[in-house]
A = this chain, B = another copy of it.
Amino acid sequence: MNILEKLKFDANGLIPAIAQDFKTKEILMMAWMSDESIKITISSGYATYFSRSRQQFWRKGESSGNLQKIISINADCDFDCLILQVEQTGPACHTGAKNCFFNEVFK
């Protein structure tokens, strides 16, 4: 069985994907992927998510140039979450921040 067939998608056909800088291990962002967007990501070599608000594929950095080159993709123990190890060009967040997780909730 192809490992892609083992992946478990939610009721909307999506799986959460965490993008991590492959060198610094910084967590850059979390977005959602469909089965098709995973296949596009693998064949193109660049992270392509599925936008829940726009209901369409979204090649990260397509307009900004802040692409994510895929180094590797791993699934977790129960196949319902992915980590993308990526080489990030520019900031990962649409706000211009290096990563999306700048809101401190507790420290």
What is A's interface to B at a CB cutoff of 8 Å? 3-4, 6-7, 16, 18, 20, 24-27, 29-30, 38, 42, 70-79, 81-83, 93-95, 97, 100-107
Contact = CB atoms under 8 A, between A and B. Distances in A.
A26 B25 contact: yes
Contacts of A95: 77
A74 B18 contact: no
A74 to B, nearest CB: 4
A6 to B, nearest CB: 8
Nearest to A38: B105
B105 A73 contact: yes
A44 to B, nearest CB: 12
